[in-house]
């Protein structure tokens, strides 16, 4: 069976958590991609189970189960699990990057599609404030204030990043406009020079032919 690859692109959203479920056919690889900022905690849970169906004929299953892997844009592996069925993962991003979460089925033969459930959180949603409250002995109001403080900081960082991207795009546009202007001026001088050369050349040619004095 030919190997299939499907990519599901996730845009950068204000929400810092998402859950998704999908079926993973035999010998298929499905990936999800998301952009995440620098120094952000990412946590998640996954579960891979077979679709419940009634099979009236015998079947042969060959393979090593499913592989779960998380990588960045440089193909560095942040989390990997072979023969994955259920588990949790956590990591902290070192830089703003595009991260890819992939599920791959290595089974072959007549087997049902596997049902994949993924619950992924990052930023404020990934923090365990109940555990923080126990360690730091915080009151419920203090915990809520801590959560709001972290959320405000996350929003400020998002706006700062968008402002930086806007400045970079503006600088790129200004640089492009400057180059286009210089190229236009250069092209204009080239055309003027060519037209002047043509005038003198034709004048000498016509004088040589004694068509003009």
Query: Per residue in 110-123, pLDDT tens?
Result: 777 888 999 988 88
Residue 197 has pLDDT above 90, yes or no: yes
Q: Is residue 154 part of a domain?
A: no
Please write the tens of the pLDDT for every residue from 126-185: 788 888 888 888 888 888 888 888 888 888 888 888 898 899 899 999 999 999 999 999
Q: What percent of the chain has pLDDT over 70?
A: 83
pLDDT of residue 65: 72
Segment 6-26 mean pLDDT: 61
Q: Does 116 map to a domain?
A: yes
132 part of a folded domain: no
CATH code at position 101: 2.60.120.680
User: Does 207 map to a domain?
Assistant: no
pLDDT tens per residue, range 23-45: 888 888 999 998 888 888 899 99
pLDDT at 64: 54
Question: Residue 59 has what pLDDT?
Answer: 45
In a domain, 142, yes or no: no
Asked if the structure places residue 151 within a domain, the reply is no
Give the long-range contacts of residues 48-51, CB within 8 A, separation 24 or more: 48/24, 48/84, 48/85, 48/86, 48/103, 48/114, 48/115, 48/116, 48/117, 49/85, 49/114, 49/115, 49/117, 50/111, 50/112, 50/113, 50/114, 50/115, 51/23, 51/112, 51/113, 51/114, 51/115
Region of poorest pLDDT, from 13-17, 42-46, 105-109, 150-154: 13-17
- pLDDT value of position 109: 66
**Are 20 and 46 within 8 A, CB to CB?**
no
96 domain-assigned? yes
The answer to whether residue 177 sits within a structural domain is no
Domain coverage including residue 93: 18-52+61-123
- Our count of domains for the chain comes to 1
Q: Which residue has the higher pLDDT, 4 or 86?
A: 86
> For the whole prediction, is pTM greater than 0.75?
no
What is the structure's pLDDT at 74? 87
Over 90: is that where the pLDDT of 57 sits?
no
Give the model's pLDDT for residue 26: 84
């Amino acid at each position: 069976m030919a190997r299939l690859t499907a990519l599901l692109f996730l845009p950068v959203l204000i929400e810092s958590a998402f859950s998704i479920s999908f079926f993973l056919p035999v010998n298929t690889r499905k990936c999800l991609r998301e952009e995440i900022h620098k120094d952000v905690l990412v946590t998640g849970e996954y579960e891979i189970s077979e679709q419940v169906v009634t099979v009236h004929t015998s079947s042969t299953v060959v393979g090593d189960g499913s592989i779960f892997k998380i990588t960045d844009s440089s193909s560095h592996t942040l989390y990997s699990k072979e023969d994955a069925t259920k588990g949790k993962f956590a990591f902290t991003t070192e830089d703003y990057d595009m991260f890819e979460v992939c599920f791959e089925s290595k089974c072959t033969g007549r087997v049902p599609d596997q049902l994949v459930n993924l619950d992924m959180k990052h930023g404020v949603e990934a923090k365990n404030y109940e555990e923080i409250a126990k360690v730091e002995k915080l009151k419920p109001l203090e915990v809520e204030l801590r959560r709001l403080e972290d959320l405000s900081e996350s929003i400020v960082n998002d706006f700062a990043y968008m402002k930086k991207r806007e400045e970079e795009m503006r600088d790129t546009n200004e640089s492009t406009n400057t180059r286009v202007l210089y190229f236009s001026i250069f092209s204009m001088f080239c055309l003027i020079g060519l037209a002047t050369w043509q005038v003198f050349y034709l004048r000498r040619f016509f004088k040589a032919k004694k068509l003009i004095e």
